[in-house]
């Protein structure tokens, strides 16, 4: 009855996150725990060499996700939702959405997955003396300028996916500082875009006669906890096609999925970090000090409260693992066993624990797309094994899970071993850790640090953005985000922490020796268009 009254009185907060394969919505109550969730599955498309989602796909996905949530609330509590205390939108970071002055989309949405901006990323990194990865919005923009694309002179506004959806629902062209930090570098002192680097960019493009200035086309940055607009009538109609949801609901600043992952794992203080593992995998480590030098494998973004974070982002994670699980599933069906996928995943993860620690020299590359950390613009899924390898299901499964972590380890070794960044504990969340123990244990071995999975980790970034929405609606406006999370949200949260197993560490290191040597084979496969 308490939950029913909270929903009826509009005391709950809603978070919606648009991930790479799923859009998820989560409602939290006054205790900040999830009350209900809904989801919608979708996939990016490769069109004319560009990974994209269509505008209509974005709108339909948003509506279907909210519809799923609304139906679950009605089924469980017998009531329809007509208001919230606050709403937040999160989505995949980076990418490129450009609009003209009539708000028309000028090109198809270019997602983080594209690796077509290498020339721009290299020039900008040298110009700024600051690592600009290919997936960053400014790299996409500058590459379009270098390519002399027709739409460049028509640009009035650029944003991310979260910024776009927030704009559709509120009419406000804003971003949280975390998502903004994946568009353009941040001035940490002023908590805004770096004006010195903006001036450098303007000098770089001065001969191009663009008709706009960079500062004028970027979204306005709003810090966590501050008001970022209200749900408009048009936005309410878009989100809830039944017309039950009322307009006027306040929004928190839209954020990126990396930032909501930090919130969902309470990893926004120095010496803390988190790993999010799904279609892609990335690690975030909150820094105490600046790094000694720029590294191509590491980019610097921000927590939702504006602290610098070292990020190692890898484009490929569980896609190849999922392909193999689907193959096992299809085989079992032909044998008359229709085993539910979640049980199959658990069983296969379990047998990986009984395998050889080095996978018996079975090496797998999960590169379904390019991988900038290792210098690949395209990828080919690949398995290599020796003639004397013990080729069995358990060793294959361990190698598949290792492959999800291998490229991340290459980047993280720079951070932990070259830069000597200290991490007391890593929090893990995402699909790789849904089955208990295995993914967590292997991640701990790869990083050689304790890894914790919280009970709430399965809710992921949608819960994280719901918490940011609740934080923006808090009564104590002097309470920092760190204080809010520590005292209000995670004080009673429980989790399982695993320390590195020595045998796993040795096995993973041996695997990585072969993995790095075999990158030459992967490169050859890509160069010969074996796909």
Task: Classify residue 303: in a domain, yes or no.
Answer: yes
Torsion 275-280-286-289 (CA) sign = positive
Task: Classify residue 263: in a domain, yes or no.
Answer: yes
Task: Classify residue 464: in a domain, yes or no.
Answer: yes
pTM value? 0.84
- Please give the pLDDT value at position 380: 95
Mean pLDDT of the chain: 94
Express each pLDDT in 475-513 by its tens digit.
Answer: 888 899 999 999 999 887 778 999 999 999 999 999 999
Express each pLDDT in 421-458 by its tens digit.
Answer: 989 889 998 889 988 899 999 999 999 999 998 866 55
Find the helix or strand (DSSP H, E) in which 529 lies. Answer: none
How many CB atoms lie under 10 A from the CB of residue 503?
12
Residue 182 CA to residue 313 CA, distance in Å, equals 12
- The answer, yes or no, to whether residue 150 has pLDDT greater than 60, is yes
Task: Classify residue 413: in a domain, yes or no.
Answer: no
The answer for residues whose C-beta is within 8 angstroms of residue 425's C-beta and 6 or more apart is 272, 273, 449, 450, 451, 452, 497
Express each pLDDT in 64-89 by its tens digit.
Answer: 999 999 999 999 999 999 999 999 99
Classify strands 255-256 and 22-28 as parallel, antiparallel or unpaired: unpaired
The answer for residues whose C-beta is within 8 angstroms of residue 97's C-beta and 6 or more apart is 105, 109, 110, 158, 159, 160, 161, 163, 164
State the alpha helices, DSSP H only, in 147-256.
Answer: 161-170, 177-180, 195-204, 214-217, 233-239
3-state helix, strand, coil split of the chain in percent (to 5) is 45, 20, 40
CA separation, residue 210 to residues 29, 109, 151, 153, 268 (Å): 48, 21, 10, 5, 38
Express each pLDDT in 164-210 by its tens digit.
Answer: 999 999 999 999 999 999 999 999 999 999 999 999 999 999 999 89
- Please give the pLDDT value at position 186: 96
Task: Classify residue 350: in a domain, yes or no.
Answer: no
Task: Classify residue 190: in a domain, yes or no.
Answer: no
Among all chains, which residue has been given the structure tokens 């999160």? 90
Residue 506 CA to residue 431 CA, distance in Å, equals 25
How many CB atoms lie under 10 A from the CB of residue 304?
29
- 99: pLDDT confidence band, cut at 50, 70 and 90? very high
Domain span at residue 265 reads 257-314+422-498
Domains: count for the chain: 1
DSSP 8-state class, residue 459 = G
Task: Classify residue 439: in a domain, yes or no.
Answer: yes
**DSSP class per residue in 274-319:** EEEESSSEEEEEE-SS--SS--TT-EEEE-TTS-EEEEEEES-SSH
- Please give the pLDDT value at position 335: 95
CATH code for the domain in which residue 426 is found:
3.30.420.40
- The answer, yes or no, to whether residue 318 has pLDDT greater than 90, is yes
- Please give the pLDDT value at position 492: 75
Task: Classify residue 129: in a domain, yes or no.
Answer: no
């Amino acid at each position: 009855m308490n939950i029913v009254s909270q929903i009826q009185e509009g005391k709950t907060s809603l978070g919606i996150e648009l991930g790479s394969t799923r859009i998820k919505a989560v409602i939290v109550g006054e205790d900040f725990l999830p009350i209900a969730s809904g989801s919608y599955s979708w996939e990016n498309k490769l069109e004319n060499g560009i990974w994209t989602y269509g505008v209509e796909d974005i709108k339909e996905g948003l509506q279907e996700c909210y519809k799923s949530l609304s139906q679950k609330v009605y089924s469980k509590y017998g009531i329809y939702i007509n208001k919230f205390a606050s709403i937040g939108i999160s989505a995949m970071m980076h990418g490129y959405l450009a609009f003209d002055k009539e708000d028309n989309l000028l090109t198809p949405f270019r997602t983080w997955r594209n690796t077509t901006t290498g020339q721009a990323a290299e020039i900008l990194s040298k110009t700024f003396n600051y690592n600009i990865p290919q997936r960053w919005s400014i790299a996409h923009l500058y590459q379009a300028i270098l390519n002399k694309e027709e739409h460049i002179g028509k640009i009035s506004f650029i944003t991310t996916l979260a910024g776009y959806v927030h704009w559709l629902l509120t009419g406000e062209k804003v971003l949280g500082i975390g998502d903004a930090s994946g568009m353009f570098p941040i001035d940490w002192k002023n908590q805004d875009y770096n004006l010195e680097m903006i001036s450098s960019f303007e000098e770089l493009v001065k001969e191009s006669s663009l008709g706009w200035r960079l500062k004028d086309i970027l979204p306005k940055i709003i810090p966590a906890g501050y008001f970022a607009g209200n749900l408009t009538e048009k936005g309410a109609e878009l989100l809830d096609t039944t017309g039950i949801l009322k307009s006027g609901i306040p929004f928190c600043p839209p954020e990126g999925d990396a930032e909501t992952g930090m919130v969902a794992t309470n990893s926004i203080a120095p010496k803390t970090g988190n790993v999010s593992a799904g279609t892609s995998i990335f690690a975030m480590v909150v820094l105490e000090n600046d790094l000694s030098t720029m590294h191509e494998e590491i980019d610097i973004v921000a927590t939702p409260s504006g602290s610098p974070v070292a990020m190692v982002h890898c484009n490929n994670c569980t896609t190849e693992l999922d392909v193999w699980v689907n193959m096992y599933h299809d085989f079992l069906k032909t044998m008359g066993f229709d085993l539910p996928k979640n049980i199959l995943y658990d069983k296969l993860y379990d047998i990986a624990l009984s395998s050889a620690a080095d996978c018996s020299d079975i090496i797998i590359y999960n590169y379904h797309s390019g991988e900038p950390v290792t210098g690949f613009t395209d990828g080919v899924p690949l398995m290599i094994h020796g003639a004397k390898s013990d080729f069995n299901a358990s060793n294959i499964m361990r190698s598949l899970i290792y492959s999800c972590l291998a490229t991340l380890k290459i980047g993280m070794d720079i951070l932990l071993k070259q830069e000597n960044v200290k991490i007391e504990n890593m929090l893990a969340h995402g699909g790789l850790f849904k089955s208990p123990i295995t993914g967590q244990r292997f991640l701990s071995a790869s990083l050689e640090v304790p890894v914790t999975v919280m009970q709430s980790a399965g809710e992921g970034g949608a819960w994280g953005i719901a918490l940011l929405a609740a934080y923006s609606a808090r009564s104590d406006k002097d309470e920092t985000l760190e204080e809010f999370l520590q005292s209000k949200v995670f004080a009673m949260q429980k989790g399982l922490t695993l320390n590195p197993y020595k045998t796993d560490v040795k096995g993973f290191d041996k695997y990585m020796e072969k993995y790095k040597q075999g990158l030459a084979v992967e490169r050859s496969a890509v160069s010969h268009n074996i796909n």
